[in-house]
A and B are shown apart, each in its own frame.
Chain A
């Protein structure tokens, strides 16, 4: 596709349920990022996939959060046993030409998660 695609765009779930958020990066982009943005706040890094290297999971807030990237393309962020504090916008981004000086990182429109 032309841009980073995320689904669902909106998700309301009950506390304690699991949710999966999907990200389809720009074709050919080797790097993929997940961020979380709570209402009125800045962006909180969650996880970063870089080609075939082991992902940087240093931002995942708890073991309820996990992410996979299959075939170097689509990624799924899974939140198990959701809590109300998980309510936020989950933003995915991708970039190309990993080690060049002119690369830019493009964001999807986000998945708005509300835990009730």
Chain B
């Protein structure tokens, strides 16, 4: 089974609108971390936001927020007030085994390509 599933290969959003990028995950660990990265056409991977499995509040970083629903194993990224510069590939990722001395590699989803339009 896929560890990280991103079901939207591509999304369009109008400038200044909000958009939600979906991410579901699969793990039996109790302690894990969820990450979102942005990859513009230049290719660099830019860290956006992090959510720990024990964090009770949803993470927020500026215009980015993470809608964490632990029981549903979903960690959707919400981008508010979209800007043209937000057009990029977005990857959801998970790291299992935190706090246990067995922290593992970061496992990525297949990504969602976001296009912001005028």
Chain A interface residues toward B at CB < 8 A: 31, 33, 35, 41-43, 45, 48, 50, 56, 59, 89, 91, 93, 98-107, 109-110, 112
Q: Which residues of A contact B43 (CB under 8 A)?
A: 89, 109-110, 112
Asked whether, in the complex, the Cβ of B108 is within 8 Å of the Cβ of A99, the reply is no
Once the chains bind, are B111 and A104 in contact (CB under 8 Å)? no
Contact of A45 among B44, B91, B105 (CB under 8 A): B105
Chain B interface category by residue count? 20 to 34
Question: Helix, strand, loop or mixed for chain B's interface?
Answer: loop
When chains A and B are docked, how far (Å) is the Cα of A91 from the Cα of B108? 13
Q: Considering the chains assembled together, what is the distance between the CA atoms of A107 and B109 in angstroms?
A: 16
Set B91, B98, B106: member contacting A99, Cβ < 8 A: B98
Inter-chain contact B106/A93, CB cutoff 8 Å: yes
> A-contacting residues of B (Cβ < 8 Å)?
33, 35, 37, 43-45, 47, 50, 52, 54-55, 91, 95, 98-101, 103-111
Cβ-neighbour of A105 out of B47, B55, B100 (below 8 A): B47
**Residue of B54, B91, B103, B109 with most partner-chain A CB within 10 A:** B103
Expressed in whole angstroms, the Cα–Cα distance for A100 and B99 within the complex equals 6
Besides A101-B98, A101-B99, A109-B43, 6 new A-B residue pairs in contact (Cβ under 8 A), listed by A number: A45-B108, A48-B104, A56-B104, A93-B106, A101-B52, A104-B35
